[in-house]
């Protein structure tokens, strides 16, 4: 499969997540109904249980609207078109006395149809006298007409489709525990690519059928479980030991193998991640801690996950969830489970196995998990996360490179013009646990449970289009707060606000686009003016003016136009370091009054000309261009 095809599958996988938002409400309604039934409040119990079952019953319509929204960047017109298609399909079924109800597969197909037509024709233009029918109206019209044809095709093919799904379900069930093991392995592998929803859709919403006492028909392991099918839950129960116990044990192993000096930060981050996994079943922050550092460990993890699912199936354990296999779903849905108490000792056993394997592997193979090397942890920047969104945008190649911005619970799902412009190192320094390129401009950035917040802030900033100036690192080395520069004038921001760096190479490059306005005679410093009128001072080392230019060589002159990453000054690193007070190199904006807001990257190692280190938004009244 090509990377471009993976990207398209990511888009569909993302779209399939939209309708799942309604499932926790349905599960909670069923659970409340069960509790009320136990207290003798039968009428109220029936009301809640019917509410929950109704949500599962109308899932085909929710999938139609949700998939259309996901494929059209949340366009309400596309969702409306998909619902029109489903209603047409339902009426045609009634008219031709078809012996089946709309299924989730039908809903997905109508959602794909509406989403694709909307994206293709939403901007179509006709001559002025026909333009009323142009744009989104034409997309709705075309979807409506296409729905008639799609409905006819599905009604003709329905018997064959039904036989195919039934055969698939029977073959999978006939494989017994081994089939469930294969599902468990594939599920974890596809999590790494964000494509597991494609697999889940087959097992959770297509395989198996159940009709309750009221005559309502439910298909798939998940709806059947909540409808009261005692045989359902086989494809969900085995995930509980992994999410509630095994992956929290991995987080504990990572903490115990971290360096003593970094352990407090790692403990805070990964104990939180362990609690989130235990409580809600969100596991990506832990899994991505070793996915890229040791892919073979992820394969071990996938195999063990399959083994857990096989074991629970063989023991006759049945349990389900509406969101994920965490403690909340375990407790809320316990009343409908079978032998669910066995999940606790099984989970403890798998937790011990995971802990021993991961501690041994980290020690034996010196795996660079968080805390063994100095990296940015997301918790370090949680307090000012939204202020760093401009730097995330820059690391994604800038506003013009971002085509589409979506998010699921744990990751940004993006489409960019050119994924070669994406700076993975900078994104990891911003706290991303992992960055995955799927081809065709499709990209995933794992920010854990902060992903939705980041996405919302990104959308706001991209729409608002403030006047921003982005800065990259002017040296190779380490970024530090300006207050740590061993010079009062810079540390107290008397020259201007900004950041500083400790270089480890003798090269200074331009952090921004602009013009060279001043090169000091001693060549230890220079000034750049940006097209927006910002005046940037770069000063190599402290008390280096006393060297009278010895060891420095400027490769630009006043009036030159420069771009980010362009070499400005070469200097003899060892000689300058030996003769100056400090190599701390400030980068400050001397007319800081023009700046309305500042965004700073984490103070960490940087790559010259590549790492995004600072972003500023200018006051409206301060905008001014550079004149040569």
What 3-state DSSP class applies to 533? Answer: coil
CA 329 to chain centre: 23
Residue 19: which residues within 8 A CB-CB, separation 6 or more? 59, 62, 63, 65, 66, 67, 107
125 Ramachandran zone, left/alpha/beta (phi>0; psi -120 to 50) = beta
Q: CA 200 to CA 27: how far, in whole Å? A: 18
Bridge partners (DSSP) listed for residue 404? 415
The DSSP code sequence of 289-344 is HHHTT-HHHHHHHHHHHHHHHHHHHHTT-B---SS-SSHHHHHHTGGG-BSGGGHH
Beta strands in 419-566 (DSSP E): 434-439, 442-446, 468-472, 477-481, 497-503, 507-509, 514-519, 525-529, 535-539, 552-554, 561-562
Q: Are 56 and 219 in contact (CB under 8 A)?
A: no
Q: CA 334 to CA 320: how far, in whole Å? A: 8
408 catalytic per annotation: yes
Q: Dig out the tokens for 351 from the structure.
A: 């937790």
Give the side-chain half-sphere CA count within 13 A for 244: 24
* Residue closest to 507 by CA, chosen among 573, 414, 428: 573
What 3-state DSSP class applies to 429? Answer: helix
Exactly one of 12, 78, 239, 408 is catalytic; name it. Answer: 408
| Site of tokens 């300006």 | 482
Q: CA 448 to CA 390: how far, in whole Å? A: 18
Q: Are 515 and 568 in contact (CB under 8 A)?
A: no
| Residue spans of alpha helices (H) in 96-135 | 104-121
Q: CA 400 to CA 49: how far, in whole Å? A: 49
Which residues are part of the catalytic machinery?
408
């Amino acid at each position: 499969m090509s990377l471009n095809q993976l990207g398209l599958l990511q888009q569909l996988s993302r779209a399939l997540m939209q309708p799942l938002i309604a499932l926790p409400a349905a599960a909670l309604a069923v659970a409340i109904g069960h509790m009320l039934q136990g207290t003798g409040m039968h009428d109220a119990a029936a009301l809640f249980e019917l509410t929950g079952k109704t949500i599962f019953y109308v899932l085909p319509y929710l999938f139609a609207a949700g998939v259309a929204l996901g494929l059209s960047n949340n366009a309400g017109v596309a969702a409306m078109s998909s619902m029109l298609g489903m209603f047409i399909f339902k009426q045609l079924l009634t008219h031709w006395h078809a012996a089946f109800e709309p299924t989730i597969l039908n809903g997905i197909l109508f959602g794909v149809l509406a989403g694709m037509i909307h994206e293709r024709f939403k901007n179509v233009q006709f001559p002025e006298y026909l333009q009323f029918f142009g744009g989104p109206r034409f997309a709705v019209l075309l979807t409506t007409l296409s729905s008639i044809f799609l409905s006819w095709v599905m009604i003709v093919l329905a018997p064959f489709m039904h036989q195919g799904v039934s055969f698939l379900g029977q073959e999978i069930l006939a494989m017994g525990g081994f089939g469930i093991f294969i599902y468990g392995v594939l599920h974890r592998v596809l999590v790494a690519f964000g494509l597991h929803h494609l697999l889940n859709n087959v097992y959770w919403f297509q395989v198996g059928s159940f009709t309750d006492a009221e005559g309502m028909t439910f298909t798939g392991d998940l709806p059947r479980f909540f409808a009261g099918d005692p045989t359902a839950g086989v494809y969900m129960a085995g995930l509980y030991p992994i999410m509630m116990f095994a992956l929290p044990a991995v987080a504990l192993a990572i903490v115990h193998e971290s360096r003593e000096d970094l352990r407090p930060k790692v403990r805070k981050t990964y104990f939180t991640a362990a609690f989130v996994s235990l409580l809600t079943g969100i596991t990506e922050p832990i899994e991505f801690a070793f996915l890229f550092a040791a892919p073979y460990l992820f394969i071990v993890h996938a195999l063990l996950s399959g083994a857990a699912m096989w074991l629970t199936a063989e023991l006759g354990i049945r349990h389900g969830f509406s969101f994920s296999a965490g403690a909340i779903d375990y407790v809320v849905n316990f009343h409908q489970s079978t032998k669910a108490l066995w999940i606790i000792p099984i989970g403890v056993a798998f937790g011990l196995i995971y802990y021993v394997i991961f501690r041994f592997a980290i020690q034996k193979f010196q795996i660079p998990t968080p805390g063994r090397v100095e990296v940015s942890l997301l918790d370090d920047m949680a307090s000012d996360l939204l202020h760093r969104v401009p730097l995330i945008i820059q690391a994604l190649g800038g506003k013009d490179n971002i085509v589409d911005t979506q998010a699921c619970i744990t990751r940004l799902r993006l489409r960019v013009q050119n994924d070669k412009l994406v700076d993975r190192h900078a994104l990891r320094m911003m706290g991303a646990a992992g960055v995955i390129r799927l081809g065709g401009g499709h990209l995933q950035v794992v920010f854990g449970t902060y992903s939705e917040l980041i996405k919302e802030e990104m959308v706001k900033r991209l729409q608002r289009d403030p006047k921003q100036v982005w800065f990259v690192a002017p040296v190779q080395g380490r970024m530090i707060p300006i207050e740590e520069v061993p010079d009062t004038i810079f540390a107290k921001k008397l020259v201007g606000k900004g950041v500083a760096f400790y270089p480890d190479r003798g090269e200074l490059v331009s952090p921004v686009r602009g013009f060279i306005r001043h090169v000091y005679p001693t060549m230890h410093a220079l000034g750049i003016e940006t097209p927006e009128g910002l005046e940037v001072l770069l000063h190599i080392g402290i008390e280096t003016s006393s060297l009278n230019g010895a060891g420095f060589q400027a490769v630009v002159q006043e009036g030159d136009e420069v771009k980010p990453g362009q070499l400005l000054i070469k200097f003899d690193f060892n000689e300058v370091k030996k003769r100056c007070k400090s190599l701390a190199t400030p980068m400050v904006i001397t007319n800081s009054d023009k700046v309305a807001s500042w965004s700073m990257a984490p103070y960490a190692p940087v790559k010259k000309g590549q790492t995004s280190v600072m972003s500023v938004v200018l006051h409206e009244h301060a905008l001014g261009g550079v004149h040569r």
